Amino acid sequence: MADTQNVEEKLYNRADIVNFMGLTESATTFNRMTGFTDNGKSLNAETYERRYVDEKSSRKDVTGYATEIAYTLDRYANNDVHDLIANVHDKEQTGVIVPIVAVNFNEKGTTDGTFKARKRKYSVLPDSDGDGTDAYQYSGAFGANGDLEEGIATSNDSWKTCTFTPNTSSGE
């Protein structure tokens, strides 16, 4: 059995799990999502619940997920991610799908300078804009629109952008 009594715990800092967005559905480079005041993920588990006649309590199984990432951003000029989201809001666009890579800087990848990451395509689901008294804000959610891929993220510009390499089928 592993000795867990002498292991120093380290608190995950929110700033160590960072999202990067592709500006097109087929993007291979992903821009860091800066200026967001909310970017929390809700799994929204879908369940099958039933109660059998010979049991006193019901059972519940997870059958799927309707994952969403809520967003609120302070609108900045010269920010390609903000421009894309603002256009969806301002022009009331439909059908906009973007890939998002979540990089976990707490979990090193297979080689130096790489980190574990997850990628998924999301639909942009605008909600409101104009909130805030100091900064013009946009809010909404990114709704899952495809399967989750696990892999490795790399960067050659100090993590302003990243690239994503999916794990091989051997389960790296």
Per-residue pLDDT reduced to its tens digit, 140-162: 999 999 999 999 999 999 999 99
The β-bridge partners of 120 are: 100
For residue 80, the surrounding DSSP H or E stretch is helix 80-90
Query: How many domains in the chain?
Result: 1
Considering the domain boundaries, does residue 130 fall inside one?
Answer: yes
In the prediction, which pLDDT does 133 show?
87
Query: How many Å apart are CA 5 and CA 3, to the nearest integer?
Result: 6
Residue 171: pLDDT band with limits 50, 70, 90: very low
pLDDT at residue 170 is higher than 80: no
The β-bridge partners of 50 are: 59
Considering the domain boundaries, does residue 156 fall inside one?
Answer: yes
Considering the domain boundaries, does residue 22 fall inside one?
Answer: yes
Between 61 and 168, the more confident residue is 61
Considering the domain boundaries, does residue 129 fall inside one?
Answer: yes
Between 8 and 36, the more confident residue is 36
Considering the domain boundaries, does residue 9 fall inside one?
Answer: no
Total residues belonging to the chain: 172
pLDDT at residue 45 is higher than 90: yes
Q: Can you give the pTM of this predicted structure?
A: 0.89
Query: How many Å apart are CA 20 and CA 57, to the nearest integer?
Result: 43
Give me 171's structure tokens. Answer: 């389960």
Mean pLDDT of 100-113: 96
Considering the domain boundaries, does residue 53 fall inside one?
Answer: no
Domain that holds residue 78: 14-48+61-166
Write out pLDDT tens, residues 81-94.
Answer: 999 999 999 999 99
- C-alpha distances out from residue 25 to 29, 142, 165, Å: 11, 13, 16
DSSP symbols for 93-126: ----EEEEEEEEEEEE-SSTT-EEEEEEEEEEEE
Considering the domain boundaries, does residue 18 fall inside one?
Answer: yes
> 123 phi and psi, to 5 degrees?
-85, 140
* Angle made by CA atoms 86, 158, 100, in degrees to the nearest 5: 40
Residue 5: pLDDT band with limits 50, 70, 90: confident
Considering the domain boundaries, does residue 7 fall inside one?
Answer: no
In the prediction, which pLDDT does 132 show?
78
Mean pLDDT of 22-50: 96
Query: How many Å apart are CA 159 and CA 109, to the nearest integer?
Result: 15
In the prediction, which pLDDT does 3 show?
65
